[in-house]
Amino acid sequence: MSYLVLARKWRPQTFDDVIGQEHVTRTLRNAIRSERVAHAFLFTGPRGVGKTTTARLLAKALNCKQGPTPEPCNACSQCEEITNGSAIDVLEIDGASHTGVDNVRDLTEGVQYRPATGRFRVVIIDEVHMLSNAAFNALLKTLEEPPPHVKFIFATTESHKILQTILSRCQRYDFKRIPLRDLIQQLEHLTQAEGFECDEAGLALLAREADGSLRDAESLLDQVVAWSNGRVDEAAVRDALGVADRQALFRVVEAILAEDPAQVLRLTGDLYQYGYDPRRLCHDLLTHFHDLVVAKVSADVSVLADLPDHEVEIVRKQAALRSREDLQRFFAALLETEEAVRKSAYTQLVIEMALVKLASQPPVLPIQEALTKLEELQTQLGSSSSRPAPARQQRFRPAASAGSVGSIESVESVWSSGLKDPKDSKDPKDSKDPKDPKDPTAEHLEQGEQWDGFLATVRSRKISLFFALKAGYLLDVTPTALQIGVDKDPYLKELLRQENRTVLEESAEQFFGRKLSVEVQKERPGPATKQPNSPPGEGDRPQKSAPDPAGSVDPLVRTALDILGGEIQTRRPSRASGT
């Protein structure tokens, strides 16, 4: 019994029948029309995408009785002989079995003779990269200056193994993988022509297993049809090829997005028992999370062209469950897991623990949303001037000059500075806003209150500069200058930037009512210096600070914790201090 497999039966017979390689077929047809056909071609690309088929079509177009023509008739003797593989003037050689220099010498001697019946003698060498270096070198002279009746067509899947001297003498055409939708359409057309029962889900699963190769898709279709006796649906494809259900993969992803590690563990175990390779599972999850990120960042349906229609909606619904940052974080974690799975002998354990970890991670707050909440909190604090301010807890830091005062420890103290209701104060001096540049009493305020008011003024102008300035302290206020001390290099550099100095000087003019130059210098106060405005004898004994639940924390970090309501889980040593 003779049976012609579908891949041979449905082999393209015209350039229009070639699927997914329009960039190649269009160029070849235009070259034939304009009579600009090169003497040597190199077709390179993945397996089963039409390299050898296109080479035969080119030979048919050149030798057709109606040609050379971009549309061979497929009815003349030349077309029929090339289709049947019996053409005398079309020599198709397997490079893997003709690797020696003697084979190439016989070839170059034979092409010197004119074609027997056709217009051109066409030499097609498949898997040409298998030729030895000596064979390539023996081919060079003939390839560079062949007889006018000879055309060379080389096909390979590994063009990087071909000598550069050969590549420079050929026109190169790169074939690409066939898109999934094109494969599905071709399989649907083929099954209808053959009378098979099929559905979209089964054809999509079949096309995905082909991995961009039409020949592989047609071969797998032959296998499924033999298994199911002519029915091609999702269940038949799974049973015949031993692949996992796509819905099972979607359920694993849904469990990860829903933070359900127990469900993830159960589903992963079921897939393993079914025979789903953990490496393949990791690969499929990587591809799926890539699709989720793409669907999240783009509303254009065309970006998901590699997915069948019934999966596009599933991907969009899952992408809406988490933020883009979460989906990118999952993809990066799976990328590391794939490397670990490839190196480990316990592939199932590695993939299970990795997926449990993914399902145990809560959503992260996007940075833009965090900044928006911070701005809303700032606005609320700035507009609540009628509310009594909380008691201010001050900690004065020793300074190099006698007139220096400390900075405020709590961010609430700084942000509430100057916001007290005048009705709550009995002292007429306290009833005036220290930020008012017209207030003559600003000069007579305590130095600590001056620093508080100046901080509040800077905060209203530039919040990031306020955080950096909070790590400093007031040294002195002269008639012409405002002196600020900072003992940490990162904040000192931030305050010394020209754009920040401008903001500081404008804030000083607004608060003190006159132009002041701002001088920022690095100060390292000694531990024994007595602090101003302290009770008698307080500077002679060690200061007891309130217990800090977060430990010794950077002021900027402490501010972020106060505003966002977070907590410190781990700490790493600072590179600058080495502590």
Are residues 21 and 145 part of one domain? yes
Are residues 419 and 497 part of one domain? yes
Check pLDDT > 70 for residue 83: yes
Cβ atoms of 472 and 408 within 8 Å: the answer is no
Are residues 462 and 391 part of one domain? yes
Residue 368 forms part of a structural domain: no
Please calculate the CA angle 476-477-479 and round it to the nearest 5 degrees: 140
Identify the CATH number of the domain in which residue 143 sits: 3.40.50.300
Are residues 37 and 170 part of one domain? yes
For residue 446, CA distances in Å to 83, 443, 470, 474 come to 100, 8, 18, 11
Report residue 576's pLDDT band, with 50, 70 and 90 as the boundaries: very low
Q: Record the pTM.
A: 0.58
For residue 438, CA distances in Å to 119, 462, 509, 550 come to 100, 22, 11, 41
Tell me the H-state helices in 153-297.
Answer: 164-167, 180-194, 200-210, 214-228, 234-241, 246-257, 261-274, 278-297
Are residues 144 and 16 part of one domain? yes
Tell me the H-state helices in 320-408.
Answer: 324-343, 347-359, 367-383
pLDDT of res. 24: 94
Are residues 325 and 280 part of one domain? yes
> Measured between alpha carbons, how far is 54 from 17 in angstroms, rounded to an integer?
10
| Residue 522 backbone phi and psi in degrees, to 5 | -85, 125
Identify the CATH number of the domain in which residue 231 sits: 1.10.8.60
Identify the CATH number of the domain in which residue 496 sits: 3.30.300.180
Cβ atoms of 249 and 285 within 8 Å: the answer is yes
Q: How many domains is the chain built from?
A: 4
Residue 442 forms part of a structural domain: yes
pLDDT of res. 559: 61
Cis peptide before 68 (omega within 30 of 0): yes
Check pLDDT > 50 for residue 461: yes
Check pLDDT > 70 for residue 300: yes
Average pLDDT over residues 102-108: 88
Of the residues 125, 142, 174, the one at which a domain ends: 174
Name which of 175, 186, 148 is nearest 38 in CA terms.
148
Residue 109 forms part of a structural domain: yes
Are residues 335 and 306 part of one domain? yes
Check the CA dihedral 464-470-471-474 and report its sign.
positive
Residue 366 forms part of a structural domain: no
Q: In the predicted model, what is the mean pLDDT of the chain?
A: 78
Residue 544 forms part of a structural domain: no
Are residues 162 and 103 part of one domain? yes
Q: Which residues contact 534 (CB under 8 A, 6 or more apart)?
A: 396
Residue 560 forms part of a structural domain: no
Check pLDDT > 60 for residue 445: yes
Residue-number span of the structural domain to which 323 is assigned: 246-359
Average pLDDT over residues 314-330: 88
pLDDT of res. 126: 92
Are residues 355 and 487 part of one domain? no
pLDDT in tens, 166-225: 999 999 999 999 988 889 889 999 998 988 888 888 888 888 888 889 999 999 998 998
Are residues 424 and 309 part of one domain? no
Average pLDDT over residues 478-493: 76
Residue 49 forms part of a structural domain: yes
pLDDT in tens, 383-436: 554 444 443 333 334 333 333 333 333 434 434 444 444 444 444 444 444 444
Q: How many residues does the chain have?
A: 579
Of the residues 197, 222, 241, the one at which a domain ends: 241
pLDDT of res. 572: 65
Q: What is the dihedral of CA 281, 285, 286, 287, to 10 degrees?
A: 100
Residue 552 forms part of a structural domain: no
Q: Answer with the residue of higher pLDDT: 424 or 104.
A: 104
> Measured between alpha carbons, how far is 529 from 396 in angstroms, rounded to an integer?
11
Report the DSSP pairing between strands 407-408 and 394-395: antiparallel
Are residues 151 and 37 part of one domain? yes
The residue type at 400: A
Are residues 492 and 379 part of one domain? yes
Tell me the H-state helices in 229-260.
Answer: 234-241, 246-257
pLDDT of res. 419: 41
The residue type at 110: G
Q: Answer with the residue of higher pLDDT: 368 or 544.
A: 368
What three-state secondary structure class fits 437?
coil
Identify the CATH number of the domain in which residue 350 sits: 1.20.272.10
Report residue 2's pLDDT band, with 50, 70 and 90 as the boundaries: confident
pLDDT in tens, 141-160: 888 888 999 999 999 999 99
